Amino acid sequence: MFEGVVNTIRSWAVNKGDASSRNQQPVELNGTPVHQVKGKSYLARAAQESARKVWNLSVSILTRAINITSTPIIWLTENRLGVAKLIGRILVPSQFSSVCDSSESKHLVSQLCDQSTEDGPRFEVIPVNDGNTELKAMICYPSGWDKQENKNSRCIVFNNPNGMLTHNFFKNGKLQKLMLPGYLQQDRKCPIIFYDYSGTGLNQTETSSWPTSKTITNDGCAVLKTALEKFQHVEVTGTSLGGGVATTSLEKVMSEDSSIEPERVNLISHDSFTTSPRVVLPRLPKLADTLGWLVGGSLNAEKSMQKLIDRKVSITVLSNLDDKMIRKGARMADFARKFKDRPEVTVVEDPIKFMYAHGLFTDIFRETLKTSKEVEPLAPLMTHPIEPDEDDDNQLESSEEYATAPESVAETDETQHRPN
């Protein structure tokens, strides 16, 4: 902006000088006009060229000084004096080794790609590039899926909860069918794209920056754009924080590209929020949103959801009513419920009491999303599945038995991977 102003002033000064010289033609003492011969005076041309170089050098130095000064100011403004970076460390704790081991995701992805066979599930790492966003993502193809035959088929993009990485959705090299992405692939029989946010898991490097609400939205946009380039229909999904990222990224991509028809996409938001600050202050939404904006840590999924509803995108919102992580007043279901009468909006709320309800993928949710009669039935869901036998990935205790079980029963190894 500053450079444009300077260039305008410079152009005006030069043009004015030229105009002035044209209007004041030199004359002899007797009033006879003198006709100048262009290029005759070497010294005159040299002086004029030197003046121009001095002017250009001055403008260049001024522009450089403005750029050097404005760049950190812009960075500090966007990141709220660095506070947004600190908030990002709370928003995306999966960047910490004490919460999630990023090396596990990298090792799992490498192992899955090496073990891919023609008959079984196949895995492929793909680069994702969009502007300044550079990521790696993994496509998981179901058994029997022919890449050429299904070239223009559908796919699923899954956005992670804040405390989980790609490897948490696999067990013994198999995609867990008890969770949202595993169930969807079993039902849809189409590829699913997994990725980890910048600075976490598969995308954590020595030089990667801290995630913020802005970077994770950009990550979701970049992966979604890649999916739309490869597939005809994309089902955008996410649990908890991932539901917010799915909503905001889908709305942003569709706003940037008006050619994307609503029929090409659909959204599934599972146990997610309206805005991230309201998760902390659900009873004071305006105060929460104001504070969130001030510190640069707000992810406003409510505003994006409204725009998607206006564009008549097919939307399904799943919510556990006993969710103690995202409480009443902050849940996306509270907002989406206002639009239940619209044919493209579906809101499903599960009232069953669970010890750890947040992020659970329950029987009601399965039935809501079920499209194929070939999906193998699962036993009634408990809060956290017990360790399944090697020959039966779907072995669970019934929810009725779990309801009367002591709290210690639920404290299995799966507890540490509870979605947040």
pLDDT tens column, 288-339: 888 877 776 789 999 999 999 999 999 999 999 999 999 999 999 999 999 9
What residue type is assigned to position 414 of the chain?
A: E
Segment 347-364 mean pLDDT? 90
- CA 333 – CA 320 distance, rounded (Å): 9
Residue 384 has pLDDT above 70, yes or no: no
Residue 60 has pLDDT above 90, yes or no: no
Give, for 175, the enclosing helix (H) or strand (E).
strand 174-175
193 found inside a domain: yes
**Residues facing 348 on adjacent strands:** 318
**CATH number (domain holding residue 254):** 3.40.50.1820
330 found inside a domain: yes
Segment 125-137 mean pLDDT? 95
Label residue 74 by pLDDT band (50, 70, 90): very low
Contacts of 61 (CB under 8 A, 6+ apart): none
The number of domains in the chain is 1
Q: Say if CB 218 and CB 265 are below 8 A apart.
A: no
The percent of residues above 70 in pLDDT, for the chain, comes to: 63
Instruction: Give the pLDDT score at 65.
Output: 53
Residue 234 vs residues 192, 237, 313: alpha-carbon distances, Å:
10, 9, 12
Residue 28 has pLDDT above 60, yes or no: no
Instruction: Please tell me which of 47-61, 131-145, 364-378 the model is most confident about, judged by mean pLDDT.
Output: 131-145
Label residue 206 by pLDDT band (50, 70, 90): confident
The percent of residues above 90 in pLDDT, for the chain, comes to: 47
Q: Say if CB 121 and CB 108 are below 8 A apart.
A: no
- CA 420 – CA 418 distance, rounded (Å): 6
Average pLDDT score, the chain: 76
Residue 56 tokens, joined: 């250009």
- CA 261 – CA 258 distance, rounded (Å): 8
328 found inside a domain: yes
Residue 330: which domain range?
Answer: 81-378
Q: Say if CB 276 and CB 297 are below 8 A apart.
A: yes
Label residue 64 by pLDDT band (50, 70, 90): low
13 found inside a domain: no
- Quote the pTM value: 0.71
Instruction: Give the pLDDT score at 406.
Output: 33
DSSP 3-state of 113: helix
Segment 275-300 mean pLDDT? 86
196 found inside a domain: yes
Instruction: Give the pLDDT score at 383.
Output: 41
Instruction: Give the pLDDT score at 294.
Output: 77
Q: How many CA atoms lie within 13 A of 32 on its CB side?
A: 4
The residue length of the chain stands at: 420
6 found inside a domain: no
Residue 419 has pLDDT above 70, yes or no: no
70 found inside a domain: no
Residue 346 vs residues 233, 392, 407: alpha-carbon distances, Å:
19, 32, 33
Residue 149 has pLDDT above 80, yes or no: no
Segment 173-180 mean pLDDT? 92
211 found inside a domain: yes
Sign of CA dihedral 303, 197, 157, 187: negative
Q: Say if CB 22 and CB 36 are below 8 A apart.
A: no
Contacts of 104 (CB under 8 A, 6+ apart): 165, 167
* Residue 319 backbone dihedrals phi, psi, to 5 degrees: -145, 130
DSSP 3-state of 86: helix
Cβ neighbours, 10 Å, residue 252: 17
